[in-house]
Amino acid sequence: MTDVKSYLREWAMPHVLCPGCAHGIVLRSFLTAVDQLQLDQDKIAMVAGIGCSSRLAGYVDFCTLHGTHGRAPAFATGLKLARPDLNVVVVTGDGDALAIGGNHLIHAARRNIDITVLLLNNSIYGMTGGQAAPTTPEGAIASTTPAGNTEPNFDACKLLIGAGASFVARVLAANPMDMTKVMADGLNHPGFSFIEVISDCPEYFGRYNKVGGGAEMLTWMSVRDEGVSGPLSDKRFVNHIPSSAPPPGLATGVLHNELRPVFSGVRKVGRS
C-alpha cells in the first residue's frame, strides 16, 4: 500500500472531517494517483473553494490556494495560464461548484483549460448546516427542505459533457482502487478533466434521511454501481436514497473522453 505521508502536512492534523465522512478516502486515492504518476510535488497546485471537500487543500503538501466561494475554477484558470508548467487541480463540492460556482465551472470546461477538477458530491451543503444543494435528490430531507426536496437535481456529468469538458468521469468513494485509476487518467489527460466523486455525508444527509452511518452509505453506493453499462441518458442520479425497490443504477467510470485543442490564452495569428 502506498505511503502517502510525504504528500501531507502532518502539522495540520488532526483533520476536521466528521466521523464516517468519505472525503479522507477520496484524498488518499488522489495522493496514490499522484504517487503512481510520480508527479513533482512542487509542480502541483491545488485550488479549493469553500466547503468540506475544499478543506482537503489544507492537508496536502503542494502549492495550495483557497479561493472565494464557487470561484476555484476561475482562480485555477488564471493560475494555469500564468504557469502552464504546473499541474493544476481543483477540489470542490457540489454546492460550491454547481450553485454559486456553476458559471465558472461550465466556462472552464467550454474553454478546455488544462486543469483537473475533482467534485466531491455528497448531495447536500455539509459544512454550513445541511441545506439542500443542486444535487439533493427530489424527496430528500435537508435543513431547508424538511418536507422533502421538490426541485429536480443536477446530473453533474451530463452538465459538464454538455459544457464541452473533454474528459468526464464518475467514481464512487466506496471503490478506492477504481477511483485511483480514473484520477490518474484524468491527471494525464491534456485538457479539462472533470471527475465527479460520489462521497457521503453521514452527519447531515445520512442522519436527516435515516440512511445510516458512513459504512452503510458506502455499501449503498456499491450496490448501485453498474459501470458504464448503458447509455448515460438512461441513468438517474439519485444519491443514497434507500427504498424497497432495487436502487437505480449509477453510471461510473470514464463517461466521455476526447482530444481537442487546449486553451492557452494565446491567439494564433496567420501571416497576412
Q: What is the pTM of this model?
A: 0.89
pLDDT confidence band for 167 (50 / 70 / 90): very high
Q: Name the more confident of 136 and 226.
A: 136
Per-residue cell: 60: 496536502
Residue 231: exposure state from Cβ atoms within 10 A (0-12, 13-18, ≥19): exposed
| Separation between Cα atoms, residue 20 and residue 18, nearest integer Å | 6
Helix (H, G, I), strand (E, B) or coil at 63: strand
% of the chain surpassing 90 pLDDT = 58
Instruction: Please tell me the least confidently modeled range out of 91-100, 177-186, 210-219, 254-263.
Output: 210-219
- Read off the pLDDT of residues 229-241 as tens digits, 9 standing for 90 and up: 444 334 444 444 4
Beta bridge partners of 8: 60
pLDDT confidence band for 33 (50 / 70 / 90): very high
Q: Is the pLDDT of residue 62 over 80?
A: yes
**20-257: CATH class:** alpha beta
Q: Which pLDDT does position 246 carry in this prediction?
A: 39
Instruction: Please tell me the least confidently modeled range out of 62-71, 144-153, 206-215.
Output: 206-215
Q: Which pLDDT does position 268 carry in this prediction?
A: 52
Q: Which pLDDT does position 226 carry in this prediction?
A: 65
